[in-house]
Structure 1
Amino acid sequence: MPTTFPDGRPSAQLRLAARDQGVIFRHGEGPAQCDMLGAREANVFLEDGVYHLFYDGAGPRGWLVCLATSRDLVHWERHGPLLDFGSPGSPDSATATSPWVIHDGTQWRMFYVASPNASPAPDYIPSFPYLTLTATAPRLAGPWTKHYDVRPFVPQPGTWHSLTASPGFVLREGGEYLQYFSSTTDSPAGIYQRTLGLARTRDLAGSWTIDPEPLFPVNEQVENTSVYFEPTNGLWFLFTNHVASERRADGTIGEWCDAIWVYWSRDPRRWDQHQKAIVLDRHNCTWSQRSIGMPSVLPIDGRLALFYDGNHGEISTNMQRDVGLAWLDLPLRPPA
């Protein structure tokens, strides 16, 4: 039976279950304590046979995007932060994290989460607004140069992306670049409403145009994206993080990231909220029985690797997270 939620948010009825390998990267071993309080929002890219793991390291001054590299997804060399905090008053003075990158034929371009706000020490959890900033580098390992003069898109008051407009997966398709960004707005009930939007551009160094309507209704409660195209059947698969809800003892609604969902479509610009399935949750994750964080996918040797983060056991917190890996067989097909 599908899970039901106390505020009536939609659930997924089908399953396209991944096989979980377990934890592949633990926090607390990075240089200069860069991930002493957690490693999360894993995003893996391949360059010259080397896997580059970008992750949010929670360090002594706050959260920054960090880098680790590997040739086998087992043994990792930790390189520390790729970006630093911006100067006081800059849009990334409190965090520079969660990057998505794409190669434009000449150099790598990064779209990363920025915010001037964070919670108090020692956690320094980034808080709204979540913004999108850019950087460039000749190689994935850097050095990365920030470009404060480029603002792809920003939150807009009175819209479904009023509180956040943070970056997501970027692809080139049909003569334009598409970015699947995360958005957040308030609801009359006082609960954040999260969905995904589509932004378009023909110039990665310029501004982006946001489609007027989100990809899914705002009560779908999903955030963060990674997209895979299956050439054998012409389907696009969009992996995303679902946010669940529960009623607390005091009657209020609490929320946490509980699962990775996948949607499928023949058109990467249009998606049906009903064509979805659960990929990873407490039923098939071997170590994190409550929190399942941001997905990213990468085809490797005939299988699709699914990277995510979580907390060990039955807890759910933004801190003390590690990175896990699960697998899906290719070719990828929707569940019956």
Structure 2
Amino acid sequence: MATGPVTFPLGPFTPYEGNPILVPQGDGWESGSVYNPAAAVVDDRVALLYRAHAQDIVSHVGLAWSSDGTTFEREPEPVLSPSEDYDRYGVEDPRVTKVDDTYYLTYSGWDRETALLCLATSPDLRTWTKHGPMFPDFDTFQPRGHGRPGPWSKAGGILAQPVDGRYLMYFGEGSIWAATSSDLLHWTPMTTDDQPPVLAPRPGTFSDFLVEVGPPPLVTDDGLVLLIHNAATKNPDGSVRYTAGQVLLDPARPTEVLAELTRPWLEPTTAEDLSGLVSNVTFVEALVWFRDRWLAYYGQSDSTLGVATFRPGERWSDLRR
């Protein structure tokens, strides 16, 4: 998978002035909300695997294509839909990584009681084989917990390159954890009784309420791993505000954070970011290098879909003269 320069921090990103780039349409499966996509570059086009639902909020994953990264044509039918007990009320919030000739898609299966991180694979982004929940007994909100007993897991970002012969994934909503695999299908969390999560909420920061994995991680130009994450604070009235951060990790010690941003690199600013099904949300799940720039695709208040761009060297080029 082609990539451009990866530094820490990555950015600055500028929200596209033409946002939103995808909005609900029609009276069917994508008539209510369109948001929270995965993305891949295929044959010099950007493919978006986006979450969409009608007013029933039963999510499907649709597929759209773009030759410029901002103007998309959608395929008429979803490519992934609820079909199993564990995802009967929604296939939500996809992330995608390509390894060799296979796309590995993680998504949240929702049965209106429990969210479980699930895996599906495809050779072409259209035909998917579901492999079921990845961590059916894991609660990623630990050590804080999510207010009730039982499992809960979301948000899996798979690193495309193996580390010492094994693949690495960061996963979790609430807190962020790490897992490894030898075949990309079966995953083992890197946890022990005394092993804390990789990243947990911290009082007084922009991740005061929770953290959640964003796009799949990237290897930086220094050989370290860049993990972009989503973070939330909770307001006194119970509402939330979602922004985005970045952390840097050593692949030899994938559970230890080396550095992190102390302020968000993306946060709600526009009308679509500030008001929607869940207001005050910029939620990043997709990051691709396309031609000469980075494109970060994100959900706007669980209602519409936007993109932010970063072209390395462009913003500060005058200062170097």
The corresponding residue for 1:238 is: 227
User: What is aligned with 2:120?
Assistant: 135
Question: Residues 179-231 of structure 1, C-alpha deviation per residue, up to 9 Å, x if partnerless?
Answer: 11113xxxxxxxxxx11111111122324334343111344421132223332
1:262 Cα deviation (Å)? 1.4
Which 5+ residue runs of structure 1 have no aligned equivalent?
1-13, 118-127, 184-193, 249-253, 312-317
Conservation of the 8 A alpha-carbon contact between 1:243 and 1:255 = no
* 1:124 corresponding residue in structure 2: none
Q: How far did residue 37 of structure 1 move? A: 0.9
Q: 1:272 to 1:255 in 2, by over 3 A?
A: farther
Q: State, as a whole percentage, how many aligned pairs show the same letter.
A: 18
In the alignment, structure 1 residue 43 sits paired with structure 2 residue 38:
yes
Q: Which residue of 2 aligns with 1:8?
A: none
**What is the DSSP-based 3-state SS (H/G/I as helix, E as strand, rest coil) of the residue aligned with 1:247?**
coil
Paired letter, 1:66:
G
If the length of structure 2 is used for normalisation, what is the TM-score?
0.76
State how far apart, in whole Å, the 2-side matches of 1:86 and 1:230 are: 38
8 Å contact from structure 1 (residues 33, 60) kept in 2: no
1:169 maps to amino acid: G
Q: TM-score, normalised by structure 1?
A: 0.73
* Equivalent residue for 2:247, pick from 263, 267, 284: 263
Deviation at 1:287, TM superposition (A): 5.2
Could you tell me whether the CA contact under 8 Å between 1:182 and 1:196 is conserved in 2? yes
CA contact (8 A) 2:24 2:304 kept: no
Structure-1 residue corresponding to 2:130: 146
> Counterpart of 1:105?
100
Corresponding residue for 1:201? Answer: 181
Q: Is the 8 A contact 1:308 1:323 kept in 2?
A: yes
Structure 2 unpaired stretches of 5+: 1-8, 275-279, 315-321
1:55 to 1:168, Cα distance in 2 relative to 1, 3 A: same
Deviation per CA, 1:149-204: give whole Å up to 9, x if none. xx421243695475422232101331211111113xxxxxxxxxx11111111122
What is the 5 A alignment of 1:278-293?
278-282=264-268, 288-289=273-274, 290-293=280-283
Q: 1:265 to 1:205 in 2, by over 3 A?
A: closer
Distance 2:12 2:45 in 1: 28
2:5 maps to what in 1? none
Q: 1:244 to 1:210 in 2, by over 3 A?
A: same
Question: Which residue in the other structure is 2:287 paired with?
Answer: 297
Residue number among 155, 158, 165 corresponding to 1:170 in the alignment: 158
1:81 alignment partner AA: P
Tell me, yes or no, if the aligned pair for 1:131 and 1:155 is still in contact at 8 Å.
no
Aligned to 1:222: 211
What is the distance in 2 between the residues matched to 1:324 and 1:330?
20
Change (3 A) 1:20 1:274: same
| Counterpart residue identity of residue 201, structure 1 | S
Name 1:181's counterpart in structure 2: 171
**What is the one-letter code of the residue matched to 2:198?**
L
For the Cα contact (< 8 Å) 1:69–1:76, is it kept in 2?
yes
SS of 1:100's equivalent in the other structure is strand
**Contact 2:142/2:175 (<8 A) preserved:** no
Contact 1:114–1:132 under 8 Å retained in 2 = yes
Q: What is the rounded CA distance, in whole Å, between the counterparts of 1:47 and 1:97 in structure 2? A: 22
Q: Which has the higher strand share?
A: 1
User: Displacement, 1:115?
Assistant: 1.6
CA RMSD of aligned residues (A): 2.9
Aligned residues: 278
How far the C-alpha of 1:282 sits from its partner, in A, is: 3.6
For 1:133, give the aligned amino acid. C
Q: Distance in 1 between matches of 2:176 and 2:54?
A: 29
Q: Secondary structure at the match of 2:16?
A: strand
- 1:29 and 1:131 map into 2 onto residues whose CA distance is 28
Match among 81, 87, 90 for residue 84 of structure 1? 81
Contact 1:56/1:63, CA 8 A, preserved across alignment: yes
